[in-house]
Amino acid sequence: MAEQQLSKTLERIKGQFSDQIVDLHTSLGMDTVIVPKTIIFELVRFLRDDPDLKFNLLSDLTAVDYFKRNPRFEVVYHFYSLERNTRVRIKVPVAEPNPEVESITPLYKIANWLERECYDMVGIRFANHPDLRRILLYPEFKGHPLHKDYPVTRRQPLVGPQDSMA
């Protein structure tokens, strides 16, 4: 594979975590780093605090279910730096069973709700999260709707007619 020119952000991350990074690339103008879940907390802290990076805004946190692929899930973080006007995407592959990554709530306050949503919808658990409850759905809900094996037609009403398709 031809060695491509790395952006400044990726150079900096590579310099710090060279031996632990799975992959680094730029796709459609977005710097992307794939890392194992063991270093995610350290990496995010580095992204936020390093004076050359300063990714102070957590733009998005979500997860994707790559059904029938191993590892099945991928937690995706998007960071933005207000000072440098740059974005970076961090991806963490998470395997079944018991998909779990470290919570980054101590670093970004919004991570609290975003991780709750991610847990609610995709079923990723976040270790050391202060309050990991469902956020959009109700506590009695079974399963996680954004799993690819959760049928779009399944209904789980608390009141009213029950699901005839289940």
* Maximum Cα interatomic distance, the chain, rounded to a whole number of Å: 60
Whole-angstrom Cα distance, residue 37 to residue 40? 5
Is 101 near other proteins (CB under 8 A)?
A: no
**Cα distances (Å, whole numbers) of residue 93 to 5, 27, 37:** 25, 18, 7
**Residue closer to other proteins, measured from CB, 16 or 59:** 59
**Residue closer to other proteins, measured from CB, 47 or 114:** 114
Is 16 near other proteins (CB under 8 A)?
A: no
Q: Which residues contact 124 (CB under 8 A, 6 or more apart)?
A: 63, 73, 75, 94, 99, 100, 101, 115, 118
Secondary structure class of 43 (helix, strand, coil):
helix
- We find the least distance from the C-beta atom of residue 58 to other proteins, in angstroms, to be 5
Residue of 6, 7, 145, 156 that binds other proteins (CB under 8 A): 145
Contact residues for other proteins, defined by CB under 8 A: 27-28, 30, 56-60, 62, 64-65, 76, 78, 82, 85, 87, 89, 108-110, 112-114, 117, 121, 130-131, 133-138, 145-146, 150, 152
